Every structure is written in C-alpha cells, then in structure tokens.
Amino acid sequence: MRNRSVSGSLAGTDVLVAGDGTTALLQLREAERAGFTALMLGPQRTRLRSAVFEEHSGTWQVETVLGDSYQGRYLVAAPASDSLAQVDVRGRDGVRLSDHWACGPRSYLGIMTAGFPNFFFPGEPHTAAGRPADEQVNLVTDTLSHAREHGHAVVEVAPDAEAAWTGLTDYGQTLRRLLHAGAEALAEVLEPAEETPAPPGLPGLLGLVAATAEDPWAAFDFSPVSARER
C-alpha cells in the first residue's frame, strides 16, 4: 500500500480518508478497489483541523493543521479513537459534532451519525458493541457503492435508527460496567444525566432490525444533492 502525502487543494475526489492507522489504510484500499478516487489525509502534515459539510454541493471541505484545503464527496474519519473529537466537524446547519455528541457518541452501526451526511467513522465509537473495524470498512464501501449505482450523491442516517443503535450500545455498556463494578456503579446508572437521550426501547430496536433484514439500506437516506438543499 502506497502512503500518500499531498499539499495544496484537490477538487473532485470521491473519498477523503482521514487517519493513518490500519483502519484508514484498509478504507483507502477498499474504496480504490471499488473504483472510487480516494485520498489519504493521515501524516502529521495533513492532519485535519476542520471539516465542514457544504449543503449546496453535498461535499466536505476540510482543512489541515498546516492550512491546506481539500474537497471530497465523502469523508471517512478513521484516526485514533481519542482524536476525532479534536477536529472541528460541522454537519447540516453548521451543527458541530462535539455538540451533537455532548452527552456521548451517537451512531448507527458505529459508522454514521444523524445530521452529518456523507460522513463515516469506521473503527470509532460503538465499534466493540457493533461490528469489527474491517466489517465496518466493508459496510462503508458497500454503502458508497450502493449510492453510486443508484445515482445518489448524499447518504444520511435516519435519527430514529441512530437512537435505536445508540440505545442498544449504551445498554450493553451499562451491563459491562455493572459486571465489573457491581453495586458501586448501580447508583450512577440509576441517576443518568438529564441531557442523555432515553433509549428508544425494545420495540423500536426490533422494528429497526426487521426493516434492516428486509432492506439493508432501510435506515439510510439516499438522495441527490438538490433534494436535500435547505
């Protein structure tokens, strides 16, 4: 695998991959194998400072710590797990990822979060409770291929699917905490932060599972750019 370092501006790239670890390299390889143009922004000189989704074009505009700018249809962030929060990521209506995740990460299948179109993060939050990173990379690639095959430019995840998956992973994390900490963790579990969204409950989760079994893309919203402009 060739590690690519770049500078300056590059327009028309299908997939920007931010990160320099195993997951990022795997995502770069799989995207290229699927026929997408892909660019890796991983070395220290191309580490991300900010990423902003432009609604009129349905693309991501990113800036590195050195001030270089890049544009891509899709942004796949696969850095170390503690570094994603350090990037100023802004989705629809300028909402910051740090604000959307103020009470903890929210995701669907551990790869997307509602309100941030064309933004994926395999190997990031909820990976252990969901799928291994390599399976997440394959899911991201399959999702991009599905969008291309059907003439779509924008991929989003439905808020209710995000809520269902996040509720499931939060429940699993709570069980693990109780197993390891016992009664000491019980009081904290019974007094959650007021801002924490309530899990959607088993019926909503079962409905999501049933819909996904019938249609793997049921929880995703695919559309042309013009249909999502606001």
- Identify the CATH number of the domain in which residue 219 sits: 3.50.50.60
* pLDDT tens-digit readout, 86-112: 789 999 999 999 999 988 888 888 889
Residue 7 lies in a domain: no
- Answer for the pair 84, 68: CB distance below 8 angstroms, yes or no: no
pLDDT, average across residues 126-138: 65
Query: What is the C-alpha to C-alpha distance for residues 185 and 39, in angstroms, rounded to an integer?
Result: 44
CA 116-8-22 angle, 5° bins: 55
Residue 179 lies in a domain: no
**Single-letter amino acid code for the residue at 120:** F
Query: What is the C-alpha to C-alpha distance for residues 169 and 125, in angstroms, rounded to an integer?
Result: 10
Structure tokens at 48: 């991300």
- 135, containing H or E segment: helix 133-149
Among the listed ranges 115-119, 145-149, 174-178, 219-223, which one has the minimum average pLDDT value?
Answer: 174-178
Residue 76 lies in a domain: yes
* pLDDT tens-digit readout, 118-131: 999 987 655 544 45
- Answer for the pair 144, 45: CB distance below 8 angstroms, yes or no: no
Q: What is the pTM of this model?
A: 0.77
- The boundaries of the domain holding residue 202 are 13-164+198-228
Query: How many structural domains is the chain composed of?
Result: 1
**Single-letter amino acid code for the residue at 41:** L
Residue 174 lies in a domain: no
Structure tokens at 67: 């001030």
Query: What is the C-alpha to C-alpha distance for residues 13 and 69, in angstroms, rounded to an integer?
Result: 12
Answer with the residue of higher pLDDT: 4 or 179: 179
Q: Where are the beta strands (DSSP E) in 9-68?
A: 13-18, 38-41, 48-54, 59-64
**Single-letter amino acid code for the residue at 203:** P
What is the pLDDT at residue 206?
Answer: 57
Residue 187 lies in a domain: no
Residue 103 lies in a domain: yes
